Amino acid sequence: MLAMEQQDMKDCDSRTVRALGQIGECLRRGCVICIEHTPLMAPRFTPWQPWGKRCCYSGDVHEICTQIDRCRDAHVDHHIRLNIEDYSFRSRFSLVVHSPTNEG
């Protein structure tokens, strides 16, 4: 992880920092990232709602962290994930970056 990215992420919580560290290479490749949230994660189907627009964030880890924090502030009791798409490899993966403290 680059020193600048570490500095940008100092205000994020540790789970978010770990998650963003794992997608650092995706950001450098220009992957499209969508922040999504849902009030309840079900075993078979969970309807995720988008937060903002899908974006490449120009490799800016700080902007992703800021958007995650805004989503968390607006939806404290929701699960939040990053949905990441790399069109150059035709691949997609999702990463949960926030879960509410009191579930159920």
Percent of the chain scored above 90 by pLDDT? 23
Q: What is the pLDDT of residue 59?
A: 74
pLDDT reported for residue 58: 72
pLDDT band (50, 70, 90) for residue 7: very low
Mean pLDDT of 65-83: 92
Domains in the chain (CATH in brackets) are 3-98 (3.30.190.10)
pLDDT at residue 5 tops 50: no
Burial class from Cβ neighbours inside 10 Å (0-12, 13-18, 19+) for residue 9 reads buried
pLDDT of 33 over the 60 cut: yes
Hunting for tokens 């579930």 — which residue is that? 103
**Predicted model pTM:** 0.74
Do the beta carbons of residue 39 and residue 46 sit within 8 Å? no
